[in-house]
Structure 1
Amino acid sequence: MAEVKIIYWSGTGNTAAMAQSVADGVAAAGAEAKIIPVENAGAADIADVKAFALGCPSMGAEQLEESSMEPFVEEILGSVSGKKILLFGSYGWGDGEWMRNWVEQMTGAGAEMIEAEGIIANEAPDADAQAACEAAGKALAANA
């Protein structure tokens, strides 16, 4: 059974809920989902995988969380080329600039996006965001 890793950071639980929806989609597609808080993740977690997900809400001036997620992303940038990646997260202000920047950063490093623009939810994920996360989880499983 293929395993899909879903690595995330969540401050209020909204991005954690999105991670669970991605995992539900992975499981529905017949693969095993492994949800990992970014504090417990390292570059070795994605070294030998073909597809994985990263989740982080917008922080401050529309940026990634600085103490855990941003250093993790910097650590893996050199090893994402050719991998299928889903980016997701929630926000409470702004227009999603942090996600556009994150997608650009990852595609610039050679990653292929499962969802071209990532998946974002304003505050708690609504039914549409949950459905998008589940669909993306199925796509991840198909690429694992």
Structure 2
Amino acid sequence: MSKVAIVFWSATGNTETMANCIAEGAGANGTIVPCTEMTPAKLAEFDVVAFGCPAMGAEQLEESEFEPMFAALEGSLNGKKIALFGSYGWGDGQWMRDWAQRAQDDGAQLFSEEGLICNETPDDDVQAACRKLGADLAAW
């Protein structure tokens, strides 16, 4: 079983709900790590990392905490198994496609090129998908 970090930022609680469900699915193998604490050294402690951030502004990552953390990890993602997730309130998920491409360009192994996205509040189906993602990541 893989050791899974769940690293996220959430403004409204939607991405936090998703993160908690992923952690629940990963069980004892899942650890929530605040995005402010994730560093390249911390990244190396985990086999798999699930990164979660909602779409902000013009469909981009949150700029004050999450983006600087993720940018600092670039160069450390080569060969790393990762998954991406987050919620959005507008647009069509372009932020996730851009983020997935960015991670792939850095050499990360994406669990899913589409990521796991949710429009607004995660309903029961999305929460179940998040739990499944957590279990899948722990087994990856």
1:62-110 deviations in whole A, cap 9, x for unaligned? 0000011111111111111111111000001111000000000001111
2:106 is matched with which residue? 109
Identity %: 51
CA apart distance, 1:23: 0.5
CA RMSD of aligned residues (A): 1.4
Misfit runs of 4+, over 3 Å:
none
5+ residue gaps, structure 2, are none
Q: Distance in 1 between matches of 2:2 and 2:109?
A: 19
Structure 1, unpaired ranges of 5+: none
Give the match's secondary structure for 2:118.
strand
Q: Deviations over 1:104-140 (max 9, x none)?
A: 0001111111122000011111122212211111121
Q: Hey, what does 1:97 align to over in structure 2?
A: 94
Give me the TM-score of the superposition, normalised by structure 1. 0.91
Counterpart CA distance in 1 for 2:33 and 2:55 is 19
Alignment of 1:1-144 (within 5 A): 2-27=2-27, 31-143=28-140
Q: Paired residues, what number?
A: 140
SS at match of 2:49: strand
